[in-house]
Amino acid sequence: MSKRQPRALMVQGTGSNVGKSILTTALCRIFLEDGFRVAPFKAQNMALNAYATRDGLEMSRAQALQAAACRLDPDVRMNPILIKPTTERQSQLVVMGKAMPLMTWSEYNELKPTLRPVVQEAYRSLAEGVDLIVLEGAGSPAEINLMAHDIVNMAAAEMADASVLLVGDIDAGGVFASLVGTVALLPPHQAARIKGFVLNKFRGDRAILAPGLDQIRAITGRPVVGVVPYLERLLLPEEDSVDFKSGRMPRFKKKGAAEVLCRIAVIDLPKVSNFTDLDPFCVEPDVEMMILRPGEALEKEGRPPDVVILPGSKNVAEDLHLLRQHHFDRALREFVSGGGEVVGLCGGLQMLGERIEDPHQIEGNRTPVLGLGLLPIRTVLEREKVLRLVAARHLISGLELRGYEIHHGRTEAAACHPSFVQISGGIGRSTPRGPMQLGWMNETGHVWGTYLHGLFDDDPFRRWFIDRVRERKGLPPLKEIQATYDIEAMIQRLAEVVRKELDMPAVYDLLGMVGGGNGNHRMAGL
């Protein structure tokens, strides 16, 4: 570690999807507002939502969001190891932003001794430029079958000499047992790092909760330093697909919202990735989002969708096979012939084509697979991954927007119309044959796809897209932007709520900080 090691606070959880990432994001912004140079860190993340950095490397979308909370550029040192499950047995490992060949979990565990120094160096280097680091754990630190190979929970806390806040999801039930059980299962020297608890996703009467808070302190000797409410209208990008797989897609109704809705169906693929591309539609007053699983009819409640979107996939061949098993290929062709619109994003774009080849077994597929045949394009998965931020122009609307690419595929489309073209050289590294064309469409423009992630974050383009659907339905276009998808505003709102609900003086005390008031804390001994 550097001579001047920063203070470190770690957010761990009683399990997955309890709110670790969101709380880490909030704390990053709070510490920044209080005058500290702060950075996030997660040693190992297992997620299919990824982000391309400015220098052409790959990291978790969650740590990219936390970097935004710190008003820093996303940096792979914040997430040195990313695991992207590809099959039931194999995953792609991304180390310091660079993809490695597929490996099994046992192969990964054998590799871990060589990865510990990578994690330590990433942390050391990141720590040199900041006053405070907020670390995030993964799953639960009390998975006793995994403790021997741990590099992301208590091992990371020990590396950083971090105090730990343990988060539990009270909405799911059993939170007090989960908190006590986690402490009980940890070795005493590791349990000693847990300085307090945070209850997340609370809704109800605080007075009824109060006796439980007193009792858990009496049992464990640790206080509950905050009770964070269930935030109904928070739409920050998710780290994993737990909520998406549950079928929960929030919709924020606004005053004066249109009575007639545009229905957009998103197909839930087993290896769905970067599904957060669709989050911005949830803020639109005239859009109804629904999640459609293979085997379900396109029509729900007697009404078909207006648009079907195929999101990204980490295993295009397997997901295509499932779609065919449930006759979705036939259903989509009939949908298009009836005037419906089909959109493919990244892996979804590849599925729309005629053929996908994987000669290097990037996704573990030995033989070429036939696509859905809705676009005359062919894709070959190459060893080197395209990773870059790009500016693009949409050729039909003429709108310019920014996004990012993360894909192994090189797509050839000699007989297909381009839909998006690159208007900058791209920020970051890419394959020498990286395409100037970023997407393609059929003659009517009702079947199209793109490699551009984040395109619907752009408010003017999203409104243009929705208005075109409205016109197809015989409705007048609204033209003016109806809703703003503003991640910065969401981070700010989250931080305000968490600051109000957390005992921040207690948090600063456990960090060894003295003083009080925003911006007036200082670190003892530094």
Residues 226 and 293 in one domain: no
Specify whether the CB–CB gap between 82 and 64 falls below 8 A: no
Q: What is the mean pLDDT of residues 206-231?
A: 94
Specify whether the CB–CB gap between 228 and 270 falls below 8 A: no
Give dist(CA 83, CA 59) in Å, integer: 10
Residues catalogued as catalytic: 346, 453
Q: What is the mean pLDDT of residues 111-128?
A: 96
Residues 292 and 420 in one domain: yes
Q: Is the pLDDT of residue 223 over 90?
A: yes
For residue 414, what pLDDT is reported?
A: 80
For residue 135, what pLDDT is reported?
A: 98
479: in domain = no
Specify whether the CB–CB gap between 220 and 183 falls below 8 A: yes
As to burial, measured by CB atoms within 10 angstroms (0-12 exposed, 13-18 middle, 19+ buried), residue 310 is: buried
The pair of structure tokens assigned to 217 is 């302190």
Share of the chain above pLDDT 70, in %: 90
**Looking at residue 30, which CATH number applies to its domain?**
3.40.50.300
Across the chain, how many H-helices and E-strands are there? 14, 27
For residue 426, what pLDDT is reported?
A: 52
Q: What is the mean pLDDT of residues 67-75?
A: 97
Distances (CA, A) of 451 to 159, 386, 392: 38, 10, 11
- Are β-strands 44-46 and 163-169 bridged in parallel, bridged antiparallel, or unpaired? unpaired
Q: CA 202, 206, 211, 216: dihedral to nearest 10 degrees?
A: 30
Could you give the residue ranges of the DSSP H alpha helices within 283-431? 316-325, 328-337, 347-352
Residue 3 banded pLDDT, cuts 50, 70, 90: low
Give dist(CA 480, CA 357) in Å, integer: 43
Give dist(CA 292, CA 290) in Å, integer: 6
List, as one string, the DSSP characters of 428-488: S---TT--SEEEEE-TTSSEEEES-BTGGGSHHHHHHHHHHHHHHTTPPP--S------HH
SS3 for 19-59 is CHHHHHHHHHHHHHHCCCCEEEECCEEECCCEEECCCCCEE
Q: Is the pLDDT of residue 431 over 70?
A: no
Residues 14 and 133 in one domain: yes
For residue 516, what pLDDT is reported?
A: 41
Give dist(CA 8, CA 17) in Å, integer: 22
104: in domain = no
Residues 379 and 323 in one domain: yes
Specify whether the CB–CB gap between 51 and 388 falls below 8 A: no
Q: What is the mean pLDDT of residues 387-413?
A: 94
User: Cβ neighbours of residue 443 under 8 Å, at least 6 residues apart?
Assistant: 417
396: in domain = yes
Domain that holds residue 171: 7-47+59-75+114-234+488-519
319: in domain = yes
The pair of structure tokens assigned to 145 is 């079958």
84: in domain = no
Give dist(CA 455, CA 493) in Å, integer: 24
For residue 255, what pLDDT is reported?
A: 46
Give dist(CA 117, CA 138) in Å, integer: 19
For residue 239, what pLDDT is reported?
A: 60
Residues 218 and 247 in one domain: no
For residue 405, what pLDDT is reported?
A: 95
For the chain, the average pLDDT equals: 90
Q: What is the mean pLDDT of residues 346-374?
A: 92
CA 209 to chain centre: 32
The pair of structure tokens assigned to 331 is 């259903």
Give dist(CA 436, CA 246) in Å, integer: 37
For residue 310, what pLDDT is reported?
A: 97
Residues 220 and 274 in one domain: no
Give dist(CA 517, CA 108) in Å, integer: 46
Helix 61-69, helix 20-33: angle, nearest 10: 20
The pair of structure tokens assigned to 189 is 């020297």
Give dist(CA 236, CA 490) in Å, integer: 7
* 285-305 pLDDT per residue, tens: 999 999 998 888 888 777 899
Greatest CA separation for the chain: 71
Counted domains in the chain: 2
* 156-188 pLDDT per residue, tens: 999 999 999 999 999 999 999 999 999 999 999
Give dist(CA 453, CA 405) in Å, integer: 6
Residues 230 and 350 in one domain: no
Residues 284 and 404 in one domain: yes
166: in domain = yes
105: in domain = no
Specify whether the CB–CB gap between 446 and 238 falls below 8 A: no
Share of the chain above pLDDT 90, in %: 78
Q: What is the mean pLDDT of residues 312-317?
A: 93
List, as one string, the DSSP characters of 198-244: EEEEE-S-HHHHHHHHHHHHHHHS--EEEEEEP-TT--PPPSSSHHH
Residues 461 and 503 in one domain: no
Q: What is the mean pLDDT of residues 413-437?
A: 69
List, as one string, the DSSP characters of 154-207: HHHHHHHT-EEEEEEESTTS-HHHHHHHHHHHS-HHHHTTEEEEEEEEE-S-HH
Residues 377 and 436 in one domain: yes
For residue 4, what pLDDT is reported?
A: 66
Q: Is the pLDDT of residue 153 over 90?
A: yes
Residues 282 and 410 in one domain: yes
The type of residue at 160 is A
Give dist(CA 220, CA 191) in Å, integer: 10
For residue 250, what pLDDT is reported?
A: 54
Give dist(CA 439, CA 422) in Å, integer: 10
Q: Is the pLDDT of residue 418 over 50?
A: yes
Residues 68 and 142 in one domain: yes
Strand partners for 126: none
Q: Is the pLDDT of residue 98 over 70?
A: yes
99: in domain = no
* 481-525 pLDDT per residue, tens: 999 999 999 999 999 999 999 999 999 999 988 544 444 555 544
**Looking at residue 396, which CATH number applies to its domain?**
3.40.50.880
DSSP state for residue 147 in the 8-state scheme: G
Give dist(CA 375, CA 254) in Å, integer: 37
CA 9-69-25 angle, 5° bins: 45
